[in-house]
A and B are shown apart, each in its own frame.
Chain A
């Protein structure tokens, strides 16, 4: 079985500060990992994905994530937070040949002006 754990259900950062959202995964096979963002009253939007190619993945809106097998982590970062980054972020995992994404419980990001 595969799972992801998102540490911190709520994270607050000041505008312009580093954003770090944590995700650890559990998988007995090589995982495929994703970060999605959900703005209020909108659908989930893919930020980035890792599919066993480069371990540092760049996504939209200046976000990136690094796959670290030794730490079973896939943390999401952005160097400088913007007010528009306020949203809920979900980490998800699947594997080759499996259509089901397993999501974490989400992290709500608040940006302090």
Chain B
């Protein structure tokens, strides 16, 4: 597609429920990133995929969070047993290749985000 698409744009759920957030990157982009942006904060890194594999998942806060990218394109961020503290905007970004800016061509393109509210 023309840009990074994230669905749903808004999700309200109850504490303890399971949530899935979807990211559809720009066609042909091999690298995909998930970030979380809490109110009044900058985006925080969660996980990075290169192709189908998670190259770095060190930002996932705990084992309730999991992400997949089975075919190297669409990715799903999964949150189990949601807590009120999970409320945030979840941002997805993609790039043509690993985000090494020295190449001059690697720019992260962000989606508009999925706003998650846990009641």
CB pair A96 B100 closer than 8 Å: yes
Interface-facing stretch out of B13-21, B38-46, B61-69, B71-79? B38-46
The smallest beta-carbon distance between B48 and chain A, in angstroms, is 5
In angstroms, Cα B101 to Cα A49, docked, is 8
A27: CB under 8 A from chain B? no
With beta carbons under 8 angstroms apart, the residue of A34, A51, A97, A100 that contacts B59 is: A100
Q: Is B118 an interface residue (CB 8 A)?
A: no
- B98-119 toward A: CB 8 Å interface, digit per residue (1/0)? 1111101001111111000000
State the interface size on chain B (CB cutoff 8 A): 30
Are the C-beta atoms of A46 and B108 separated by less than 8 Å?
yes
Known interface pairs A49-B101, A52-B102; A106-B42 also in contact (CB < 8 Å): yes
Q: How many A-B residue pairs have CB under 8 A?
A: 65
Inter-chain contact B40/A99, CB cutoff 8 Å: no
Q: Is there contact, CB below 8 Å, between B45 and A101?
A: yes
Q: How large is the interface on A (under 10, 10 to 19, 20 to 34, 35 or more residues)?
A: 20 to 34
B102 and A43 within 8 A (CB): no
- B78 to chain A minimum Cβ distance, whole angstroms, is 21
- Smallest beta-carbon distance B57→chain A, Å: 11
Interface residues of B (CB under 8 A from A): 3-4, 31, 33, 35, 40-45, 48, 55-56, 59, 91, 93, 98-102, 104, 107-113
Report which A residues bind B (CB closer than 8 A).
9, 32, 34, 36, 41-46, 49, 51-52, 90, 92, 94, 96-97, 99-106
